[in-house]
Amino acid sequence: MKLTTVLLIAIVMQVSAGSYAQKISLSESNTSIQKVFDKIRAQSGYDFLFSRAALKNARPVSISVRNTELKQVLDQVFQGQPLEYTIIKKSVVVSVRETSVVDRVLNLFSATDIKGQVLDENGRPVNRASVKVKSTGKVVVTDDFGRFTINVPDDNAILVVSYVGYITKEVPVTSSLVIVLDLNQNKLEEMVVVGYGSAKRKDLTGSVASVDVNEIRNVPFATIDQALSGKAAGVQVVQADGSPGGVAKIRIRGGTSLLGGNDPLYIIDGVQMQIQNRYIQSAAEVVSPVESFGLDGGDNTISGSFARGLNSLGGLNINDIESIDILKDASATAIYGSRAANGVVIITTKKGRFNQKASLDANYYIGQSSPVKEKLLNRDQYIMILKEAAQNLNDVRAAYTPPRAPTALANSILNDPNYFGTANTDWLDLVLRNGITQNADLSLRGGGAGSRYYTSVTYNKNNGVVKGTDYTRLAGKLSLDNDINSKLRFNTNLDYGYTTNNITNGIYTQALFAPPTIEPYNADGSVRTISSAENGSYGFEGFQNPLALLTAINRANSFTLIGSLAGEYDILKELKFRSSVAVNYNNYRQTNYQPSTALISASFGTQLLNGIATQAQSQESNIFYENTLTWTKEFNENHRINVLGGTSWQISRSSSFSASGQGFPDDVYLNNLSSAATTLPATGLSAQNSLLSFYARANYSLFDKYIFTFTGRSDASSKFPAKNRVGYFPSGGVAWRISQENFLKDVKWINEIKLRASTGRTGTQNIGDNLFYTLYSPVSYAGLNGLSPNQLGNDQIKWESTLQKDAGIEFQLLNSRLHGEFGYYEKSTSGILFPATVASSSGFTGVTANLADINNRGLELQIGGDFIRHKNWQWSGTLNVSGNRSKVKELSNDFADPTNPKVYNYGSTVLKVGEPVGLFYGFTNDGLIRTQQELDEYKASFPTWASYYPYLGIGDSKYVIDPQLRFMKSEVIGHAEPKYYGGYTNNISYKNFTLTTLATFSYGGQISYVADIQNADLSQRTNKGVRILDRWTPDNMDASRPRLVLGQGFSYGTASSQNIYDASFIRLKSVTLNYQLSKDLLNRLKMNQASLYVSATNLFTVTNYPGADPETSNNPYSLIGGYSDSAGYPTVRQLSFGVRLGF
């Protein structure tokens, strides 16, 4: 600064003192010195020349003058400041004052210790807050009571107090100092976790959403994926069903893979985790009478229930989580390369605190769950519709020429008073219950000067609303951080969890169709067998007494361990090296036993096997070795750079074993495999793959308003052939903090506006191992061993690659009362791997190849506001709305249907070029036949009608007929993809009360209500839903559902547009009321915190969907399918009460 002064003097060449007499008027209190300079310049015309570094230690100014000369005003302003000034012509040059030897001696004797306390906005102590002396830079941190002691040079010293999430405050020292911090309303100043590091939100060029953990910690969500619903734009969460601890389907900006998974990559304390279905195929499978009619696979009751009931995140305790950040675009995710095409969810758990004595936190809640049930016919309604259908059958037969005699069955229904018996069975009441949930967790945290620790343990028991189902979790955490010296640190982290799931085997589904006129038990108390003859069905359809399945065992035990050990060394102040080794280990055990009373699926239908069992086990270990070098340099206030470079090696090993047997002497005690009369062939698998990666990221900030990010990663995966083994995933992003420009800087109502754009590539390698090899499996025949073709290799397969483009604007207005962001994205995935058909002469059924291209594009809006900011009242809300549009761009011609090579059928859904994913495929219902003319015309267009609907008449359903085939036309009948979806979170606080609500919504999507297919007719005499009551009769000719004729159905074993419904809804997802005990009471009780809370979930849903829940998925892992309501497990409504204590 001395040099600056000399140069300015040389340039100006003159000093004018004659103009000092200009009069100034000021009245300021604790105002920054720069603002005082601005006001003096406005009145005097003098320019102030200074650097920001010079003002870094300046104290706030308090001054009151009127019509005072400039020099006198400046003398008062600079009094007590570590600055001095020189007036040169019309400029005031400000420089740092040099401290003399005498001043240093005086400062030594005038130094004193100041004691104080730092509190938050609610008056609670703030632990680990930073307290710095502005002039000297000396720093201390507060203890667990928010107290501190610091040495200051004199009584005029200024303290700078800061804490993450709060506004930094400068305060002059006093003898007894109590500092109350205010929450930082500027969201762009928040720290968010990104790949291999963290950054301020204002410095991001990518799209990153954060979830406020405080909004979900008192809601009784069993797993963290359920808690993400409605919390972030672009993140669609669909709970598969009401299974306790069950999985949620999560899609970030649409799906990108047909063969691999579409769930995001989870990073838990730096360790990667991929969601997967660990179910091992069981011989003890049961037919689903619902899904067989929807063409989504009838023999999948057990496998489907496990897919929806198992959860890879089940071992993680929500109360251990510190933060959740969701990376959505390539600028944010490309650092994870081949595993990031579906987005990344970074979960950071809690750590200990330095210089804090041990603190104990406890949380307990108990709740009750009740099922949201389907509405079924009671006994009287069931008898009424059955008699009506029987009478219609006899009438139709009598109208034939020549007339046909009534059927014996119809006559029995109409005339035999004993046909229906006396039973009045409520099957749902027999298989459902109110479930009790209990959760308890304890955590201990603290630390010393160079170490900190956090440990916790939790127990959760969730009894399902379907009898025989429950979820139990025992989990814990241990985190240790140690500073060996000022340069070397070690971090140890361990998350472990043990879960037990008792999963349904279709009891609830069977209860939907069991006739209410049938007794559930025999006279001797044994479970009655309901034969196909009793309900007019075929054996292969799988209808049976639901109680026959009640003693079954379908249990999954899973142990997960996520651990890491890392060392950090500061090579230089700006250069840090980090090395870590981590493990993600899972051990899974599965036990399936279907009792002797159960009908088991077989190639020809169903059969009784006197008990059948499967016991299986698998284990998987993923070991990660990572080394990173990080250089962070702030050259000055205008130039800031962060560069990260690293390498990673991952090796994954897995193995599984399964054994089965049938024929057991007892269903309760002797059901272990050792008791089986017949042992079935065992299976065993093992696999290994590895991934070698190199990555780098550079982030540069120019003038704190122009931000550039460049990321690159290369992955070499053993899952691909040598020539296609390496994939490259670059990305680039730019951001412009336009609010920092001069033309907006002084606009008072604008706090922050940032424009951002990015592009880059990510990939997917979440596929099976060794797909490029031709494989053979061992077989035995006539006592001899041999090999059988198992897989046709394809040495041309390559990476699935996703090109992402993203643009958005982030803003904060009106003193940060209004904040949000609006964004546009486009994801184009090419070379999607999928099975293709090959010539049968090859000896193989198919081969995996890069066949398809899918595009996703969409808009996202997230906007929040602080409506009321008052000492006693606070009210805030956040709304997010997203819309995704997918489109199949390319599809291989090499599929089984050569007449339509651009279409791939998968059950009731279809992939079609030029159309979105999630298309429903089937017959288009054309309403009811209401006149004789319509009947004659329909029969003429459909010459084979009598083979399918022998009693076709007025009041029956009709379908669109293909004029070429003269048969019911198969075509697209619905779209599962919603037009938009989102959520709204509302927070209201009054004194010690806080009310948090979450509403979620979806609009424009459709769902296949497969359980409703059988509610349209009486092709079987199973029970029906109440919607069948709205059938056509001569007195109800405006009905939308067909007339009832005993034995005649219109489903024809496939989906139709009649069963595709609008799945739009608005749901009150959760409501939580929390009461925090007062500060005075806490002090008397010697407690840090104590709160009581009550929470409810799924309170009500506004929808036109006729089923129990429009938000469900029969296959949460699939992108092609998974859009059906299979009624496998009812949605639950839960009410819980809890207490949270801290000591």
Give the pLDDT confidence of 894-953 residue by residue, as tens digits: 544 444 557 787 778 888 899 999 999 889 999 999 999 999 999 999 999 988 888 999
Cα(506)–Cα(243) distance, rounded to whole angstroms?
12
Residue 933, classified by CB atoms within 10 Å of its CB into exposed (0-12), middle (13-18) or buried (19+), is exposed
Q: What is the mean pLDDT of residues 990-1006?
A: 95
- State the first-to-last Cα distance of the chain, in angstroms, to the nearest integer: 52
Shared-domain flag, residues 66 and 128: no
* pLDDT at position 930: 94
In a domain, 39, yes or no: yes
Q: pLDDT confidence of 1017, banded at 50, 70, 90?
A: confident
pLDDT digit string (tens) for 254-285? 999 988 789 999 999 999 999 989 999 998 88
CA dihedral 1022, 1027, 1033, 1038 (to 10 degrees): -160
Q: Which residue, among 364, 268, 182, has the nearest Cα to 874 in the 3D structure?
A: 182
518's tokens: 């049938």
Q: Judge if 6 and 84 occupy the same domain.
A: yes
| 116 and 53 together in one domain | no
Shared-domain flag, residues 112 and 92:
no
| CA 291 centroid distance within chain | 27
pLDDT digits (tens, 9 = 90+) for 404-456: 999 999 999 999 999 998 999 999 999 999 999 999 999 999 988 789 999 99
Hey, what are 113's tokens? Answer: 């210790």
Cβ of 813: how many Cβ atoms within 10 Å? 17
- CA distance linking residue 595 with residue 612, whole number of Å: 7
Torsion of CA 603, 607, 609, 613, to 10 degrees: 60
912 strand-pairing partners: 903
Q: Are 462 and 435 a contacting pair, CB within 8 Å? A: yes
Collapsing DSSP to helix, strand or coil, 532 comes out as helix
Q: Examine the domain organization and report whether 110 and 94 are in the same domain.
A: no
User: For residue 474, what pLDDT is reported?
Assistant: 96
Tell me the backbone φ, ψ of residue 182, rounded to 5 degrees: -105, 145
User: Are 107 and 85 contained in the same domain?
Assistant: no
User: What is the span of the domain harbouring residue 72?
Assistant: 2-98
Integer Cα distance of 584 and 497 in angstroms: 12
Q: How confident is the model at residue 103 (pLDDT cuts 50, 70, 90)?
A: low
Residues 36 and 120 in one domain: no
Q: Is residue 127 part of a domain?
A: yes
* Per-residue pLDDT band at 374 (split at 50, 70, 90): very high
979: which 2 tokens? 């037009």
Residue 32: the pLDDT is 85
Domain-embedded: residue 57: yes
Is the pLDDT at 295 greater than 90, yes or no? Answer: no
Can you tell me the distance from the alpha carbon of 345 to that of 330, in angstroms, rounded to the nearest whole number?
A: 14
Is the residue at 148 inside a domain? yes
Q: Same domain for 94 and 106?
A: no
Residue 534, pLDDT > 70, answer: yes
Other beta carbons within 10 angstroms of residue 768's beta carbon come to 13
pTM above 0.75, yes or no: yes
Tell me whether residue 147 is in a domain: yes
Q: Are 645 and 660 in contact (CB under 8 A)?
A: no
- pLDDT level of residue 475 (50, 70, 90 thresholds): very high
CB 425 within 8 Å of CB 518? yes
Of residues 79 and 556, more confidently modeled? 556
Q: For residue 786, how many other CB atoms are within 10 A of its CB?
A: 11
pLDDT (0 to 100) of residue 102: 56
Summarised one tens digit per residue, pLDDT across range 19-44 is 445 788 888 888 888 889 988 888 88
The share of the chain scoring above pLDDT 70, in percent, equals 93
Instruction: Single out the residue of 986, 1017, 1014 nearest to residue 999, CA to CA.
Output: 986
Q: Which of 685, 710, 723 is nearest to 760 (CA)?
A: 710
Q: How many domains does the chain have?
A: 2
pLDDT bracket for residue 609 (50, 70, 90):
confident
Report the chain's mean pLDDT, rounded to a whole number. Answer: 88
- Per-residue pLDDT, 427: 96
Residue 1045 has pLDDT above 80, yes or no: yes
Q: Which amino acid makes up residue 684? A: G
Helix (H, G, I), strand (E, B) or coil at 953: coil
Query: Among residues 163, 180, 197, which one ends one of the domains?
Result: 180
Instruction: Extract the tokens encoding 612.
Output: 């059948």
What is the C-alpha to C-alpha distance for residues 218 and 216, in angstroms, rounded to an integer? 6
Cα 249 to Cα 1117: distance, rounded to the nearest angstrom? 7
Q: Which residue has the higher pLDDT, 475 or 109?
A: 475
Q: What is the pLDDT of residue 768?
A: 82
Q: Which of 70-79, 89-98, 519-528, 957-966 has the lowest mean pLDDT?
A: 89-98
| Three-state DSSP state, 159 | strand
pLDDT digits (tens, 9 = 90+) for 42-54: 888 888 888 777 7
Q: How, if at all, do strands 83-88 and 91-96 pair?
A: antiparallel
pLDDT at residue 293, as a whole number: 61
CA distances from 1030 to 373, 387, 1034, 1038, 1044 (A): 20, 16, 12, 9, 11
In order, the DSSP letters of 78-131 are: HTT-SEEEEEETTEEEEEEPPPPHHHHHHHHHH-EEEEEEEE-TTS-B-TT-EE
24: domain CATH number is 3.55.50.30
583 vs 193, 624, 883, CA distance in Å?
21, 6, 37
Residue 356 confidence (pLDDT): 78
Domain end call among 75, 98, 121:
98
- Which residue would you say has higher pLDDT here, 291 or 625? 625
Split at pLDDT 50, 70, 90, the class of 198 is confident
Could you give phi then psi for residue 1071, rounded to 5 degrees?
A: -135, 130
pLDDT at 929: 94
pLDDT class for 604, splitting at 50, 70, 90? low
**Residues in Cβ contact with 641 at an 8 Å cutoff, skipping those fewer than 6 apart:** 631, 632, 633, 635, 698, 699, 700, 701
Note the pLDDT of residue 191.
78
Q: Is 443 exposed, middle or buried (0-12, 13-18, 19+ CB in 10 A)?
A: buried
pLDDT of residue 17: 39
Asked whether residue 601 carries a pLDDT value surpassing 70, the answer given is no
Three-state secondary structure string covering 567-582: EEEECCCCEEEEEEEE
H or E element that contains 304: helix 301-309
**Is 1002 in a helix, a strand, or coil?**
strand
* 6 vs 712 pLDDT, higher one: 712
Write out the DSSP string of 871-940: SSEEEEEEEEEEEEEEEEEE--S-SS-TTSTTEEEETTEEEETTS-SSEEEEEPEEEE--SHHHHHHHHH
* Sequence-separated (6 or more) residues with CB below 8 Å from residue 602: none
In which band, very low, low, confident or very high, does the pLDDT at 15 lie, cut at 50, 70 and 90?
Answer: very low
252 in any annotated domain: no
Instruction: Please list the alpha-helical segments (H only) found in 351-470.
Output: 379-398, 408-415, 427-431
- Report the alpha-carbon angle 189-195-201, nearest 5: 15
For residue 168, the tally of other CB atoms under 10 A from its CB is 14
Determine which of 120-129, 226-235, 531-540, 795-804 has the lowest per-residue pLDDT on average: 120-129
Looking at the structure, do residues 79 and 124 belong to the same domain, yes or no?
no
16 or 119: which leads in pLDDT: 119
Average of per-residue pLDDT across 1126-1134? 92
What beta strand segments (E) does 663-768 contain? 678-702, 706-717, 726-736, 750-764
Q: Quote the percentage of the chain above a pLDDT of 90.
A: 57
Q: What is the CATH number of the domain that holds 117?
A: 2.60.40.10
Sign of the four-CA dihedral 89, 92, 95, 97: positive
Domain boundary residue, one of 132, 159, 180: 180
Q: Are residues 28 and 44 in the same domain?
A: yes
Residues 86 and 123 in one domain: no
Q: Positive or negative, the Cα torsion across 86, 88, 90, 95?
A: negative
Does residue 567 form part of some domain?
no
Residues 91 and 106 in one domain: no
Q: What angle do CA 178, 184, 189 make, to 5 degrees?
A: 130
Q: Which amino acid is at 801?
A: S
Query: Which region holds residue 177: left if phi is over 0, alpha if psi is between -120 and 50, else beta?
Result: beta
> Mean pLDDT over residues 740-748, rounded?
89
Distances (CA, A) of 424 to 309, 381, 420: 32, 11, 10
pLDDT band at 247 (very low <50, low <70, confident <90, very high): very high
501 assigned to some structural domain: no
| Number of Cβ within a 10 Å radius of residue 1016 | 24
Q: Would you say residue 298 has pLDDT above 80?
A: no
